């Protein structure tokens, strides 16, 4: 057993035996209507005993486990409680899961992003289960008057083997709730896991397939009004004036007014990104009426002025320049070409890359690019707010309640404890819901109309509001000696308005002479985190480039990478290399074995890619055929090292989805601009991958080890861009350097 110190403060372990029904922990009572079906329903206990913030035990042995993190499809609502249940040592069929309310005193890091939920939650979730189990054992030991060491647990029962006595958790829960929280607890050995590492169905599966109200847009409140906003039609414009005479007279319309999302002089935080801080709001009785009234508004817009703002990035202040003007994609491409030709910042340099390139036998240089992308969460941005005198209550889909609480507090002038945020299930997030301007908008609208309000974005509002994945360009150079050894590597990348260069990632550390450079161009088009930020472009570019270098060097693409990784393992260059070469090599070896590498079928063209980001290693082999002149992805074989896999089938689902998402964005994804206007506004023009375009088969394999788990939301996504590009090359003889690979050609300025 592993003995670890518990690190919760006392408030995390508020114990109240007086609480019947557990009402205190459940701010989200409307979800009570989402119980399982009668035939599967568990008999609910008469009384619940709160053991700690993560769990309570009913007098009949049923356990409620709170899932702390916001859920957007990554299925932490199943996997996080699995970890608690494992250490609690309870039968999974006796577990009920609830979404924890946002509460920064009880829970830490209630944030969904960066694939960090499981990695950062792992220890705390284990402690929550293990300390409760310890308290149950101590309570039983006291009841039996035996030393606690003589007790053991199994599937919700405490045993005293010597005397043959046993007590169910439900029978002892009341006494356990009185036991002091242990200062240190024993954790299970990995080999003893009975829940973690086994596939468990999504605990919300039945509610989802029966259409129960789980999502932000499903939130309802007596007297609730529906609201929408009108924002400038182009980046570079702002509100000048509004004539709402016609709209105001329309049926069901309660009020029309302008709102300012931030106060004058407010220092924005990292997730306060917002190109359109002044908006026209329409509130009314129904969505359709509000939509129609919005169309009847007569709004004048005017150009923004050139400005700078100070951004507080978690304590580090940055000055951001926001240029005036209405930008065009064609200009962006020309500007990026110009910047790429000039000098960049150089965050890393090893050896003497300039000399190595001069003396090289061969130099290979390739440039890659990708457009802006919209997140396109299927559930558009929305939020419920009810702001009353001295209090704000919000409910909806957010990845970052803790951060947005600060923003709301500043805007509404309310202390943090007067702001309540309920977490609904999110209809997708992909990074977009870390940004919460719409939460503030909802609160301001509620405040003005003095009623509960649901703010709702139409698809067009959602797609044209900004916070896009940036557009990027990157140039790689490789130097080979006469024996085709990689002697120098140069990466120089930029973007609008950020670059995608990771100076310390592979192949840094594996090449004697190395240079990383970066540049960027200011823009008034807003950007935000998009599933595996920056990696989502860099991985595909880098892995395409390495494929081409391997080919020119006359090496097998897997062998070529393994040689470099061996160098990084045995004799690394530099000290800050951001990867473990052995684990990187491990996924390459696993994918080589599982894909049947080297045994290609006729007519099937294979592309390889491997990438490490967000603490997880992924390698993929993509098989592509040309059928009726079109590329068809026949199969993707994916090898992953994310340490211990909590819920294998759910992790497989994430990898499958990431691969489909990546192929879709690589083939079709693009947002373009003309005079500042986003040229795509809905799914008729913004092409998303559909079933007939998805791979026919995806096989996912995990490296088996006992390393503490890392995340799955992002890592399987970035490499597939490269695997696809490399397979396309094999199939067509043509290298694809510019995304999207199909549907559009890059127009050079």
Partner 1 sequence: MRHAQILKNCSVIFFNSNIMANFTLNINGKKQQVDVDPNTPLLWVLRDHLNLVGTKYGCGIAACGACTIHLQGVAVRSCMLPVSQVGNQAVTTIEGLSENGGHPVQQAWLEHDVPQCGYCQAGQIMNAAAFLKANPSPSDEDIESAMSGNICRCGTYLRIKAAIKSAAAG
Contact residues toward partner 1 (CB under 8 A) are: 37-39, 72-75, 201-202, 204-206, 208-215, 217-218, 220, 226, 250-251, 286-289, 292, 376-380, 425-430, 458-459, 649-650, 653-654, 656-661, 664, 682-684, 688-692, 694-698
- Distance (Å, rounded) from C-alpha 502 to C-alpha 648? 30
3-state SS class at 520 = strand
Shortest Cβ 248–partner 1 spacing (Å): 13
Which one, 217 or 558, has the nearer CB to partner 1? 217
- Which pair of tokens denotes residue 720? 């597939």
Shortest Cβ 210–partner 1 spacing (Å): 4
- Distance (Å, rounded) from C-alpha 336 to C-alpha 354? 23
Shortest Cβ 699–partner 1 spacing (Å): 11
> Would you say 133 and 89 are in contact if contact means Cβ atoms under 8 Å apart?
yes
- Distance (Å, rounded) from C-alpha 496 to C-alpha 218? 36
Shortest Cβ 175–partner 1 spacing (Å): 37
Which one, 489 or 741, has the nearer CB to partner 1? 741
> Would you say 506 and 546 are in contact if contact means Cβ atoms under 8 Å apart?
no
Shortest Cβ 428–partner 1 spacing (Å): 5
Transcribe 639-692 into DSSP letters: EEE-SS-SSHHHHHHHHHHHHHHHHHHHHH--B-EETTEES--STTTS----GG
- Distance (Å, rounded) from C-alpha 646 to C-alpha 653? 13
Shortest Cβ 105–partner 1 spacing (Å): 28
Which one, 401 or 716, has the nearer CB to partner 1? 716
- Which sign does the torsion angle of CA 132, 134, 137, 142 carry? negative
| Residue among 560, 558, 557, 581 at smallest CA distance from 508 | 581
Contacts of 627 (CB under 8 A, 6+ apart): none
Which one, 72 or 506, has the nearer CB to partner 1? 72
Shortest Cβ 266–partner 1 spacing (Å): 32
Which one, 265 or 629, has the nearer CB to partner 1? 629
Which one, 241 or 682, has the nearer CB to partner 1? 682
Shortest Cβ 457–partner 1 spacing (Å): 10
Q: Omega of the bond prior to 635 within 30 degrees of 0, cis?
A: no
Shortest Cβ 271–partner 1 spacing (Å): 20
- Which sign does the torsion angle of CA 286, 292, 296, 302 carry? positive
Which one, 58 or 695, has the nearer CB to partner 1? 695
**Helices 535-552 and 648-668, interaxial angle, to 10°?**
80
Which one, 128 or 214, has the nearer CB to partner 1? 214
Which one, 269 or 669, has the nearer CB to partner 1? 669
Which one, 697 or 732, has the nearer CB to partner 1? 697
Shortest Cβ 111–partner 1 spacing (Å): 17
Q: What are phi and psi of 57, to 5 degrees?
A: -120, 130
Which one, 337 or 699, has the nearer CB to partner 1? 699
Shortest Cβ 454–partner 1 spacing (Å): 10
Which one, 334 or 688, has the nearer CB to partner 1? 688
**CA Rg value for the chain:** 28
> Would you say 64 and 45 are in contact if contact means Cβ atoms under 8 Å apart?
no
| Residue among 536, 407, 547, 533 at smallest CA distance from 476 | 547
Helices (H) and strands (E) in the chain, counts: 16, 32
Integer CA distances (angstroms), 160 to 148, 157, 168, 188, in order: 9, 10, 12, 19
Shortest Cβ 252–partner 1 spacing (Å): 9
Transcribe 417-428 into DSSP letters: GGEEEEE-B-S-
Pairing mode, if any, of strands 486-496 and 513-520? parallel
Shortest Cβ 431–partner 1 spacing (Å): 13
Which one, 215 or 465, has the nearer CB to partner 1? 215
Which one, 239 or 720, has the nearer CB to partner 1? 720
Shortest Cβ 483–partner 1 spacing (Å): 43
- Distance (Å, rounded) from C-alpha 597 to C-alpha 619? 12
Shortest Cβ 629–partner 1 spacing (Å): 17
Which one, 275 or 659, has the nearer CB to partner 1? 659
Helical H segments across 507-605, by residue range = 535-552, 557-570, 581-595
Transcribe 343-381 into DSSP letters: --EEEEEES-HHHHHHH-SEEEEEEEEE-BB----SS-S
Shortest Cβ 683–partner 1 spacing (Å): 4
Contacts of 559 (CB under 8 A, 6+ apart): none
To which H or E segment does residue 130 belong? helix 117-144
Transcribe 600-650 into DSSP letters: PPTT-EEEEEEEEETTEEEEEEEEEEEETTEEEEEEEEEEEE-SS-SSHHH
CA 297 to chain centre: 36
Transcribe 254-304 into DSSP letters: EEEEEEESS-TT--EETT---S--EEEEEEESSHHHHHHHHHT-EEEEEEP
Q: What are phi and psi of 6, to 5 degrees?
A: -80, 145
Shortest Cβ 654–partner 1 spacing (Å): 7
Helical H segments across 400-534, by residue range = 401-412, 437-449, 459-464
Shortest Cβ 92–partner 1 spacing (Å): 14
Contacts of 530 (CB under 8 A, 6+ apart): 373, 375, 430, 431, 432, 468, 469, 536
Which one, 249 or 582, has the nearer CB to partner 1? 249
- Which sign does the torsion angle of CA 527, 531, 533, 534 carry? negative
Which one, 177 or 663, has the nearer CB to partner 1? 663
Which one, 144 or 215, has the nearer CB to partner 1? 215
């Amino acid at each position: 057993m592993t003995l670890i110190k518990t690190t919760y403060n006392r408030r995390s372990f508020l114990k109240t035996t007086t609480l019947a029904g557990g009402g205190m922990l459940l701010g989200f009572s409307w979800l009570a209507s989402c119980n399982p079906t009668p035939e599967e329903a568990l008999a609910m206990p008469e009384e619940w005993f709160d053991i700690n913030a993560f769990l309570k035990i009913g007098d009949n042995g049923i356990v409620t486990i709170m899932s702390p993190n916001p859920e957007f499809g990554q299925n932490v609502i199943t996997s996080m409680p699995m970890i608690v249940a494992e250490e609690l040592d309870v039968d999974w069929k006796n577990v009920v899961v609830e979404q924890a309310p946002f509460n920064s005193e009880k829970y830490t890091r209630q944030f969904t992003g960066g694939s960090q939920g499981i990695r950062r939650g792992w220890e705390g979730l284990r402690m929550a289960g293990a300390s409760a189990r310890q308290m149950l054992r101590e309570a039983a030991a006291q009841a039996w008057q035996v030393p606690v060491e003589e007790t053991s647990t199994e599937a919700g029962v405490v045993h005293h083997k010597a005397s043959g006595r046993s007590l169910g958790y439900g029978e002892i829960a009341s006494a356990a709730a009185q036991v002091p929280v242990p200062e240190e607890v024993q954790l299970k050995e990995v080999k003893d896991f009975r829940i973690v590492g086994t596939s468990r169905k999504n605990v919300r599966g039945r509610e989802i397939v029966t259409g129960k109200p789980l999502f932000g847009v499903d939130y309802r409140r007596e007297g609730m009004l529906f609201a929408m906003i009108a924002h400038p039609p182009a980046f570079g414009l702002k509100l000048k004036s509004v004539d709402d005479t016609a709209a105001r007279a329309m049926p069901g319309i309660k009020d029309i007014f302008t709102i300012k999302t931030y106060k004058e002089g407010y220092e924005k935080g990292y997730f306060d990104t917002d190109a359109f801080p002044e908006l026209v709001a329409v509130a009314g009785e129904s969505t359709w009426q509000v939509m129609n009234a919005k169309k009847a508004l007569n709004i004048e817009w005017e150009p923004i002025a050139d400005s700078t703002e100070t951004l507080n990035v978690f304590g580090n202040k940055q000055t951001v320049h926001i240029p005036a003007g209405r930008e065009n994609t064609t200009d962006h491409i020309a500007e990026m070409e110009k910047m790429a030709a000039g000098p960049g910042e150089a965050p890393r340099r090893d050896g003497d890359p300039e000399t190595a390139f001069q003396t090289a036998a061969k130099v290979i240089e390739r440039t890659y690019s990708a457009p802006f992308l919209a997140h396109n969460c299927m559930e558009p941005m929305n939020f419920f707010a009810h702001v009353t005198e001295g209090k704000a209550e919000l409910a909806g889909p957010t990845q970052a309640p803790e951060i947005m609480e600060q923003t709301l507090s500043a805007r509404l002038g309310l202390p943090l404890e007067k702001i309540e945020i309920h977490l609904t299930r999110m209809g997708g997030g992909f990074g977009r819901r870390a940004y919460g301007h719409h939460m503030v908008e909802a609160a301001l609208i509620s405040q003005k109309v003095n009623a509960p309000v649901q703010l709702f974005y139409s698809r067009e509002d959602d797609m044209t509001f900004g916070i896009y994945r940036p557009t990027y360009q990157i140039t790689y150079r490789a130097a080979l000696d006469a024996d085709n050894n990689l002697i120098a590597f140069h990466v120089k990348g930029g973007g609008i308005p950020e670059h995608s260069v990771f100076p310390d990632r592979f192949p840094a550390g594996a090449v004697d002479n190395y240079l990383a450079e970066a540049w960027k161009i200011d823009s008034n088009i807003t950007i935000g985190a998009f599933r595996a930020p920056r990696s989502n472009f860099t991985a595909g570019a880098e892995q395409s480039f390495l494929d081409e270098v391997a080919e020119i060097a006359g090496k097998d693409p897997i062998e070529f990478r393994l040689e470099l990784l061996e160098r990084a393992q045995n004799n690394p260059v530099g000290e800050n290399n951001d990867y473990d070469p052995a684990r990187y090599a491990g996924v390459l070896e696993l994918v080589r074995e599982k894909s049947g590498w080297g045994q290609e079928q006729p007519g099937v063209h294979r592309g390889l890619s491997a990438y490490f980001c967000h603490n997880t290693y992924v390698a993929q082999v993509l098989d592509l055929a040309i059928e009726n002149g079109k590329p068809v992805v026949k199969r993707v074989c994916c090898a992953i090292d994310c340490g211990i896999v909590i819920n294998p089938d759910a992790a497989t689902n994430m990898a499958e989805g990431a691969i489909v998402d990546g192929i879709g964005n690589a083939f079709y994804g693009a947002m373009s601009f003309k005079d500042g206007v986003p040229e795509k506004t809905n799914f008729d023009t913004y092409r998303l991958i559909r079933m007939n375009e998805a791979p026919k088969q995806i096989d996912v394999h995990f490296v088996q080890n006992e390393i503490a788990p890392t995340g799955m939301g992002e890592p399987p996504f970035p490499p597939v861009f490269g695997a696809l590009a490399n397979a396309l090359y094999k199939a067509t003889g043509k290298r694809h350097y510019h995304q999207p690979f199909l549907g559009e050609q890059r127009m050079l300025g």
